[in-house]
């Protein structure tokens, strides 16, 4: 029995990879790109769980280029159709403790 060389062993794998690369690109190119509205609908209908917690950093830059940085912690909870969110400013010290509570689109300030 004749022993196969490395090239003979790798040739089928190499040909398969080239085939997938060429024809895979052609298949992907034929698909329509989603519109902005399609992406918005998909994002809106995406399951996001019943509760969320996040910490965000906002960079506010005025027209003179002065930058202010705010750190905000957000807690959200869904109660069936009712949604409640609380935003709490953490930094800087002059806004620390400022909170916004939102319920189904209404805003309550404290």
Q: Locate the domains of the chain by residue range.
A: 6-39, 49-109
- Name, in order, each residue with C-beta under 8 angstroms of 89's C-beta and a sequence gap of 6 or more: 70, 71, 72, 95, 96, 97, 98, 99
pLDDT above 80 for 3? no
DSSP letter, residue 93: T
pLDDT above 60 for 90? yes
Taking alpha carbons only, the member of 105, 101, 100 closest to residue 81 is 105
Q: pTM higher than 0.85, yes or no?
A: no
Residue with tokens 């805003």: 107
pLDDT above 90 for 22? no
- Residue 26 Cα to chain centre, angstroms: 28
C-beta of residue 71 within 8 angstroms of C-beta of residue 56: yes
């Amino acid at each position: 029995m004749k022993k196969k060389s490395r090239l003979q062993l790798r040739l089928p794998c190499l040909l398969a990879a080239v085939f997938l690369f060429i024809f895979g690109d052609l298949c992907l190119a034929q698909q329509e790109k989603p519109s902005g509205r399609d992406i918005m609908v998909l994002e809106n209908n995406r399951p996001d769980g019943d509760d969320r917690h996040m910490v965000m950093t906002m960079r506010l830059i005025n027209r003179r280029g002065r930058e202010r940085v705010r750190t905000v912690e957000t807690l959200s909870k869904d109660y069936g159709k009712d949604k409640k969110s609380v935003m709490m400013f953490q930094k800087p010290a002059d806004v620390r403790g400022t909170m916004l509570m939102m319920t189904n689109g209404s805003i309550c300030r404290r």
